[in-house]
Structure 1
């Protein structure tokens, strides 16, 4: 007979309760210890290795038995860093159906030629004004009208100036008296009344009073204003006509402020007019106006074009080609690859195994379908040039956000490609033998060694003795050259 009247069911319930409590305690301890164990695992290297013999692993740091250098640690988080970044994965067949097209991030010289449209205008620096120098009356206007083209010295208007007639009579009378001092004083009086010197000479030659004076065009050009009619009276200083010269015309054009860097006053400008398709015109950038248009965000240019035959007429349109100074090599991608959100610029970076992720970039000059990338991408990477908006929408639906440039810079502790300077010693089928300087990001000193090529075309155009800047990546096969750029040879 049992001393305790507990049946088997009660004992089973107690056992389950004790086991559950113990399991809960163990689970809590596991949750507490897991981050610590994970942190310890991440901070501890998996092994050490020689970059030239990466397949050989060592359990402790030290000097490499193969090369005169220290072993490099390999961390677990570094091995999985590429897989940890969130990305959109698309199968190759689906990429083809979506029309996804990739473009490489390449280094080159951006063609800095700006094409804009301009309009011809009058040259406001070549203007002459015809005025009445004394009060009088208009006798004749020679049938002139605004818009007429006149030559220099062409008659414009005949005026009768009573004051001039009286002074002329006095001058002629003194000439008959034969007193030189009085004659000189009278002649000077004619000039002081505003009488043109040509008219004074005509009076001296003819000896007759010239009551009506013909006022002529001071320069050749087009009549812009003509405020004179037959029979009207004039006051001294009244403007009669305004003439604009046509020897040079202005070509006024607007350039986006983001593309204006590199323009210089005095540089040569090429222009083509639809009205004169077989006649290209070369001019000079006369000035860059100091005020920026706040509506269109453009700078106004004033280009001076020669017009010896008068065929360039204000109001005509022209296509302007502006060469920008300061050419230099930059990273560049197709402009169509950029997704412009209004707040920042993004590209869809293509990775291995059909993975795509958004990356923020900082852009520079843009021209001829290409845009310079100042920050955010490396040479040799690939971006989506067509179909990027579909991938960007998918990334947004999955909550995949592009890191800001500051975040990306802070997380780039170890670059994927390590660069150094060197000189080519030999080119073989196995790769390039290079006498190189130290790889600062690898902790690897300078030496002479042979590197395999990631792609055979990297050796195109290279020869023994060339000085190069090259980048290598680490893999199971050792250090492999990913990019090569020739440098200027030292004298």
Structure 2
């Protein structure tokens, strides 16, 4: 009896609980009623069975998923949801989907296309077969009536879950706003771990005052404006030679050697004869001046002519004096030799000032101008630096070396700089404010110049740039970047290799 009462009480309690739950539930719709239709942006792409993020590409909102989530060797299913900007399904679109393993060495490229069919408005599905393991970048080419064609690329690999957007679209948040700018083809996406393994470093493109250092090899030579040759204006024989070795120091007016010449002797006799007749007529005075002028032009000094007048007898040997102070750098005379008129007997150079001629490469020559400051260093004088100014740029090139010559004038009061010494010349060309990046950021491939811009979100996009001057570890950017853009400076060659593989584009 007691057991029966307990079972009755338990049944009554369950009945009461069921009645309470029934009151809390909404009423069921009639059997023939249809639920309200949800269209447009009320139907998010994620609700259509695609768990991948939503992307925006031009006029489209796109969702992409692969089944299984980690692609495998063999058959895989690809689903694509296509909507317009308002979230309405896009029907009748043509989608060309191809997974392609790029060529590697002797192995040609392999393609795994998926024939996409629209199975319901805005939802497309197809299958593709992967013949082997590896990286299979996936490309979607979307074409719809009245809308711009788009191409989207993803990074896909067997055994790795999910797809990674590389280019052609941008990820959007729940509000439909783009979270990142759209990446160009060839963009590589690296997570923090892979960036650290590769050693990726970045730097900012900046406007800086660019100064280029031009280095050139130079040679010390004589200042040609301070060279003087000693020669005779008449045939003669050399008597006493006072300067009888190369390198001898001479002072202006110092006797160099004596000469005997029949013409000089006759000129002295003629002068003395006219002198004796001086004062008799104006004609005779004019002749006297002409005879004196002749002796002067033949390098007899006024003192020697005055001594001749006092002596009243011609000199057999007449001294020839130094026309300037300097050093004898060439000597073509010895005592007793006969010399013809016009022959160079001695060359005297004033070495208190010298020239340095430097060879500048043709590409750098436009940066060099007269008045530019120069620093000269000689390997044999490591503790000394000489400051000078470019005073002349020669108007021609050396044909074989394709270099242009410049001239720098240097003071040399102590004679430290000697002709034919080699010198290292350093010029600084101020180029003004230029947009620059570190030179290691630029990848050079033939005539093409490429940098990788850090777009954020782990994305590194290739940018074709035009470069200009290069100086002090910086490269000028003429086009392709703006101030403030961040570029990859380390690890970019590995990124470049991966970018070519992912994008399947032509070689740079």
- The TM-score bracket by the shorter chain reads 0.5 to 0.7
**Rounded Cα–Cα distance in structure 2 between residues aligned with 1:281 and 1:175:** 57
Per-residue deviation, 1:302: 0.9
Partner residue of 2:209? 109
Distance 1:352 1:145, change over 3 A: same
**Rounded Cα–Cα distance in structure 1 between residues aligned with 2:225 and 2:442:** 44
Q: 2:266 aligns with which of 147, 158, 166?
A: 166
Partner residue of 1:155? 255
Alignment coverage as a number of residue pairs: 349
- Give CA deviations for 1:161-181 in whole Å, capped at 9, x if unaligned: 122112213333443455455
User: Which secondary structure state, in structure 1, belongs to the residue aligned with residue 144 of structure 2?
Assistant: helix
Q: Is the 8 A contact 1:171 1:183 kept in 2?
A: no
Q: 2:376 aligns with which of 263, 267, 271?
A: 271
User: Which secondary structure state, in structure 2, belongs to the residue aligned with residue 111 of structure 1?
Assistant: strand
Q: Is the 8 A contact 1:287 1:302 kept in 2?
A: yes
- Structure 2: state its 5+ residue gaps: 1-114, 125-140, 151-171
Q: Is the 8 A contact 2:211 2:431 kept in 1?
A: no
Aligned pairs for 1:249-264 (under 5 A) are: 249-264=354-369
Q: Does 1:384 align with 2:491?
A: no
**Rounded Cα–Cα distance in structure 1 between residues aligned with 2:272 and 2:192:** 105
Q: 1:189 aligns with which of 288, 291, 315?
A: 291
**Rounded Cα–Cα distance in structure 1 between residues aligned with 2:353 and 2:339:** 33
CA RMSD of aligned residues (A): 3.7
Q: Does 1:281 align with 2:378?
A: no
Structure of larger gyration radius:
2
User: Which secondary structure state, in structure 2, belongs to the residue aligned with residue 144 of structure 1?
Assistant: coil
Distance 1:340 1:179, change over 3 A: same
User: Which secondary structure state, in structure 1, belongs to the residue aligned with residue 363 of structure 2?
Assistant: helix
Partner residue of 1:217? 322
Q: Is the 8 A contact 1:227 1:240 kept in 2?
A: yes
User: Which secondary structure state, in structure 1, belongs to the residue aligned with residue 182 of structure 2?
Assistant: helix
**Rounded Cα–Cα distance in structure 1 between residues aligned with 2:116 and 2:441:** 50
Per-residue deviation, 1:84: 5.2
Query: Normalising by the residue count of structure 1, what TM-score does the alignment of the two structures yield?
Result: 0.61
Partner residue of 2:418? 313
Partner residue of 1:368? 472
Q: Does 1:132 align with 2:235?
A: no
User: Which secondary structure state, in structure 2, belongs to the residue aligned with residue 364 of structure 1?
Assistant: strand
Higher mean C-alpha deviation, range 119-128 or range 276-285: 276-285
Partner residue of 2:27? none
User: Which secondary structure state, in structure 2, belongs to the residue aligned with residue 133 of structure 1?
Assistant: coil
Distance 1:191 1:39, change over 3 A: farther
Query: Normalising by the residue count of structure 2, what TM-score does the alignment of the two structures yield?
Result: 0.59
Aligned pairs for 1:61-72 (under 5 A) are: none
Distance 1:200 1:396, change over 3 A: farther
Partner residue of 1:38? 144
User: Which secondary structure state, in structure 1, belongs to the residue aligned with residue 351 of structure 2?
Assistant: coil
**Rounded Cα–Cα distance in structure 1 between residues aligned with 2:227 and 2:335:** 25
**Rounded Cα–Cα distance in structure 2 between residues aligned with 1:195 and 1:213:** 10
Higher mean C-alpha deviation, range 223-232 or range 372-381: 223-232
Partner residue of 1:82? 182
Q: Does 1:230 align with 2:332?
A: no
User: Which secondary structure state, in structure 2, belongs to the residue aligned with residue 82 of structure 1?
Assistant: coil
**Rounded Cα–Cα distance in structure 2 between residues aligned with 1:36 and 1:322:** 57
**Rounded Cα–Cα distance in structure 1 between residues aligned with 2:351 and 2:394:** 22
- Structure 1: state its 5+ residue gaps: 1-26, 45-53, 59-73, 405-491
Distance 1:169 1:91, change over 3 A: same
Distance 1:28 1:110, change over 3 A: closer
Partner residue of 1:427? none
Aligned pairs for 1:445-484 (under 5 A) are: none
Distance 1:92 1:316, change over 3 A: farther
Partner residue of 1:335? 439
Q: Is the 8 A contact 1:170 1:186 kept in 2?
A: no
Per-residue deviation, 1:242: 2.3
- Give CA deviations for 1:403-459 in whole Å, capped at 9, x if unaligned: 99xxxxxxxxxxxxxxxxxxxxxxxxxxxxxxxxxxxxxxxxxxxxxxxxxxxxxxx
